[in-house]
Chain A
Amino acid sequence: MEIIILILAGILFATAIYNLLQKQLLRIIIGTALLSHGAHLFILTMGKLKRGQPPIIMEGISDYVDPLPQALILTSIVISFGVTSLLLVLAYRTANENNSDDMAQLRGDEHE
């Protein structure tokens, strides 16, 4: 199953990069969101899948899945949420101020 999840993560990465290489601001942000999904799955898979019970201590259970990657991913989810929302507002302001969301048009003048 790990292989399948890793392939899924790879596909998420590929679509993320393809979106990042687009011109529209919104697609670029979609790309970053996909990228973080891929990364989270990646981290989760590194800790091995389905090797025990959820990491909540209960009587009579000795096998738990690795809790550390989960803690890392939790942190990462929150941070990427913060970044994504900032990017979204930034994109909104950029598009509003410049009347364009096209990256090809949003570049400085020749001498910058």
Chain B
Amino acid sequence: MIFTVLIPLILACFIPLLSKIKEKIHTGVFVFFIPFIIFLYFIQFVGNDFSPVRQTFRWIPSLGINLDFYLDGLSLLFALLISGIGALVVLYSIYYLNKTERLGHFYVYLLMFMAAMLGVVLSDNVFVLYTFWELTSISSFLLIGYWHFNERSRYGALKSMLITIFGGLSMFGGFVLLTVVTDTTSIQAMIEQKDVILNSTYLPLILGFILLGAFTKSAQFPFHIWLPDAMEAPTPVSAYLHSATMVKAGLFLVARFSPVFSTYEWFFIIVSLVGIVTLCWGSYMAVRQTDLKAILAFSTISQLGMIMAMLGFGTEIAVFAAVFHILNHATFKGSLFMVAGIVDHETGTRDIRKLGGLITFLPITGTLALFGTFSMAGIPLPFLNGFYSKELFFESSLDLAGASTFADLLAQAIPYLAVFGSIFTFVYSLYFLFGTFAGKADLAKLPKKPHEAPFGMLVSPIILVLGVILIGLFPNVVNGTFLAHAAEAIKGVSIEKHITFWHGFNYTPLQMTLIVVGLGLVLVLTRKKWAGAYHILPGKLSLNRLYNAILDKLDDWTKDVTQSYMTGSLRLYVAIIIGATLVVTAIVMLVTGGFNIQFNDLADVTAIEVSVVVIMVIAALGTIVAKNNVSAILILGVVGYGVAILFVLYRAPDLALTQLVIETVTVVLFLLCFYHMPKLRKRNESAGTKTINLIISIGFGALLTLVGISAHSSKWFDSIADYFIETSKPLGGGHNIVNVILVDMRGFDTLFEITVLGLAALAIYSLIKLKKGAK
């Protein structure tokens, strides 16, 4: 099973080589065989006596992350859709994409996507699933931005990327929580431990995170906004990713985890509510669109909402209807996207206002569109598969009950919302069909003179429409062999629903269908009269506006925040650093009770020391008030010599010596530099800045004094001085203990201090010698 995931990835590496010979043979011809063979491999599993298959390959065993593959009915359904429609889409793209396009890029992305998608549906390990999930986001990003010279393509690609990766990351959070709670990374093992998960305190978080991932990927309300913009991708991509496979990854995720959550009431509430709202909103918005692909995009959103709602219902019939509709939607929506692509390809426009009357020019395409749209609308004819699943949807919506008041209210409202959404589904389906193919053709508006598409382009939609008709005529063929296993994977029990076309007039779903058709026809005929409704809703409440505003505002806010403190002024940075150190240290000392001031164990105070200290204090303050350079430097020298005297008083002869010499050299250096530097100008600082500087510096000095006193007052252990004093002579062979420490006991310090001096000397030399532009 693993090879089905790896083969597309490995072969994708060879596509660039193949595309070099694309002048002779279209690269897609080679690519076609990959999904086709995978499809043939998976089709052998179809049958009544299917049982799940498991395979494991070690990847990162120490983290419990292994390439666990698990093929059950649900995975099989998706794997067949991915490989089957993948093959058809590649076939279609051979005729759709010109040889002058960058075909190598296209097929590499497409194969990458195919492998990722197969990985998503086959993985049993949550982290492997997440890996493939993000790979689908990335490859989808690349495919949407395929015509990257197009500004709209880049916008659409970025939008889909931001939204789906946002969802993907939150899903990852959910997976991590699940792993922590159940102590396993295998989905099947998690399903076995569903009681542990349901009793966990993290349950709402887990559910919320995972559903966020599913809703963003499957374009559920309010995250659906990326899908219409993803229509900037080439049409084969739209047909494949954004109708049949990737957008169903969210449905797959919900279906995969519904054995765990289905008994939790919030699962029913959230999933059903979001699904049904998406159904209504998507179908309502689809009627407003003027671009053929935008109509189909909103239609996809709405159909996905319907499937999502059914997964939320969680009853046996609903689950069965959901998997049935996943299959049906893939067939008719795939074909409709291809039809839209053909219309675009043959007339040069996708704008429905310019199109019309194409049935005389494109008879085959028109017929295909007829089957596709009627199936999508759920028109009760015995050869349309969309009708069956729509009827099952109505049936499942009638038989709902919730435990709490709110859930019960929702359960009561769902049939009405379902009918409402379906009416608009009917409207946009007919709008799509008649707007494009019926009426009178206005050839002047069309960029190209329309004529029927080449046969190769028609093969894929014909096969899909044949699927629509065959499933419609013999709905029970896919039943036990296929759908029952998929439903079993979701629900746990084998559901084999016998699908019949005719239930009699007293059958409520049929009456609902008739209401849909009746009201839908009225709305279709009066469409121009009520089109004004779109000015009221959504009107200005568009979610796209919100998305754009959030992005713009985020840009502005982050810019403002950065500019507010990253001013380029070194003074401000120093003030922030010192101020932050001050505050943090003070808080830590206060909170931990670190301040500890005692006055025992002190050396005696003598007059001479005090007078030195006083002179130093005056000198230190003098550096601040000094008006000119020379006095400031000389006063600094006073401080330095004061330190040297203190070293003498505190019995540190080597220090005193060094300090004296170095202070002298430093003062000389200061004076040398001063000679070349501009004069100290009069400071014209505001009183506010002065106060802040004063507060920070006094605070910092006071704090360090307190810290020093506290440290001095609490000696935890004796100094190691005794060791140095005792061993200086016997081990170091010297009388001067400080010097023995410097060159013998801690010689490394000295070595690197010499290095520092050497480096400083080199740096100074180069600073002086090397000038800009000089050789």
A residues with CB within 8 A of B: 1-27, 29-30, 33-34, 37-38, 40-42, 44-58, 64-68, 70-71, 73-75, 77-79, 81-86, 88-93, 95-97, 99-104, 106-108, 112
Task: Indicate if the CB atoms of A6 and B623 lie closer than 8 Å.
Answer: no
Known contacts being A40-B643, A46-B712, is A21 close to B700, with CB within 8 Å? no
Task: Indicate if the CB atoms of A9 and B705 lie closer than 8 Å.
Answer: yes
Task: Indicate if the CB atoms of B697 and A88 lie closer than 8 Å.
Answer: no
Closest Cβ neighbor of B709 among chain A residues: A6
Give chain A residues whose Cβ lies under 8 Å from the Cβ of B569: 103-104, 107
Interface residues on B, range: 35 or more
Closest Cβ neighbor of B712 among chain A residues: A2
Query: B283 interface residue, CB < 8 Å from A?
Result: no
Cβ contacts B618-642/A at 8 Å (1 or 0 each): 0011011000010011001001100
A100 CA / B574 CA spacing, docked (Å): 20
Tell me which of A13, A86, A93, A100 contacts B701 (CB under 8 A): A13
Task: Indicate if the CB atoms of B666 and A85 lie closer than 8 Å.
Answer: yes
Give chain A residues whose Cβ lies under 8 Å from the Cβ of B567: 107
Tell me which of B568, B694, B760 contacts A83 (CB under 8 A): B760
A32 CA / B643 CA spacing, docked (Å): 15
Query: B750 interface residue, CB < 8 Å from A?
Result: yes
Known contacts being A11-B620, A71-B738, is A93 close to B653, with CB within 8 Å? no
A65 CA / B652 CA spacing, docked (Å): 9
A-B contact pairs, 13 of them (CB 8 A): A1-B609, A3-B602, A7-B705, A21-B571, A21-B696, A23-B685, A27-B680, A57-B725, A81-B665, A86-B767, A89-B768, A91-B673, A95-B676
- Tell me, rounded to whole Å, the shortest Cβ–Cβ distance linking A33 to chain B: 6
A48 CA / B601 CA spacing, docked (Å): 9
Query: B202 interface residue, CB < 8 Å from A?
Result: no
Closest Cβ neighbor of B602 among chain A residues: A2
B73-81, B314-322, B449-457, B728-736: which lies at the interface: B728-736
Give chain A residues whose Cβ lies under 8 Å from the Cβ of B749: 71, 75
Query: B658 interface residue, CB < 8 Å from A?
Result: yes
Closest Cβ neighbor of A21 among chain B residues: B693
A88 CA / B704 CA spacing, docked (Å): 27
Task: Indicate if the CB atoms of A44 and B652 lie closer than 8 Å.
Answer: yes
Closest Cβ neighbor of A67 among chain B residues: B737
Give chain B residues whose Cβ lies under 8 Å from the Cβ of A104: 569, 571
- Tell me, rounded to whole Å, the shortest Cβ–Cβ distance linking A53 to chain B: 7
A51 CA / B602 CA spacing, docked (Å): 10
Give chain A residues whose Cβ lies under 8 Å from the Cβ of B574: 20-21
Q: A1-B606, A15-B623, A79-B756 are in contact. List 6 more A-B contacts (CB 8 A).
A: A1-B609, A3-B709, A15-B624, A18-B693, A22-B571, A34-B623
A65 CA / B678 CA spacing, docked (Å): 46
A44 CA / B610 CA spacing, docked (Å): 17
Give chain A residues whose Cβ lies under 8 Å from the Cβ of B653: 54, 56
Task: Indicate if the CB atoms of A107 and B677 lie closer than 8 Å.
Answer: no
Query: B169 interface residue, CB < 8 Å from A?
Result: no
Give chain A residues whose Cβ lies under 8 Å from the Cβ of B764: 85-86, 89
Query: B462 interface residue, CB < 8 Å from A?
Result: no
Closest Cβ neighbor of B739 among chain A residues: A71
A103 CA / B633 CA spacing, docked (Å): 19
Task: Indicate if the CB atoms of A96 and B705 lie closer than 8 Å.
Answer: no
Give chain B residues whose Cβ lies under 8 Å from the Cβ of A41: 643, 646
Query: B523 interface residue, CB < 8 Å from A?
Result: no
- Tell me, rounded to whole Å, the shortest Cβ–Cβ distance linking B602 to chain A: 5
Task: Indicate if the CB atoms of B767 and A90 lie closer than 8 Å.
Answer: yes
Known contacts being A1-B605, A21-B574, A78-B757, is A11 close to B680, with CB within 8 Å? no
Query: B683 interface residue, CB < 8 Å from A?
Result: yes
- Tell me, rounded to whole Å, the shortest Cβ–Cβ distance linking A101 to chain B: 5
Task: Indicate if the CB atoms of B623 and A24 lie closer than 8 Å.
Answer: no
B371-379, B428-436, B463-471, B716-724: which lies at the interface: B716-724
